Structure 1
Amino acid sequence: MRKPCWFLAPPVSRAARWRGRCCTGGWRVRALVRDPFSAGAAALAARGAELVVGTFEDRAAMRSAMAGVDGVFSVQPSSPGGTVTDEQEVRYGITIADLAVECG
């Protein structure tokens, strides 16, 4: 079986279909989740994903989750007029890219 493919994605997004494809496409999937007891996290775990609890602000959790993976698939949260600012969305993306490079 291939090494884990790690990803971040909001629970309700177009990325949902990619999460399912990774879990059923021969990849071992590691997913960063805020709440391991949420319906989305439970669905991922039921498909065989390894859950890592953390947030986009938690560099240590993201670094740990990226260790030994072949790739990172990430969809940062966006919330026009909501709780996530454009600046946060950009910062999250840069942090993820930097950590992916750091982790090899």
Structure 2
Amino acid sequence: MSKPKQASIHIRCDEKLANEFKQVVEQNGYTKSLIIREMMQEYIDNSKKLNLASQQDTMAKVIKTEDIDKLEPLKDITADDLLKLAIRMAEKHI
């Protein structure tokens, strides 16, 4: 099995911040790369959760205000299709 393709990310930051980050990471027994990868994944996960919450808020407002124009794209979707769509959306954000 082949390993996934690797990519490098280079950032600029204040030297003091970089040195302090390196020191703290090493004191805790980790690598800078590991911590940054975990922070990146956490940011992505949080972003997806916020996006889902935003979509849910929008849907709730549309349904609550009964704004028919905004509901128009959903009018021809069956209950089964709506359920499948909801499951796919939930799977993406779990």
Between Structure 1 and Structure 2, the one with more helix by share is: 2
TM above 0.5:
no
Q: Which has the larger radius of gyration?
A: 2
Between Structure 1 and Structure 2, the one with more strand by share is: 1
TM-score with structure 1 setting the length = 0.26
TM-score with structure 2 setting the length = 0.28
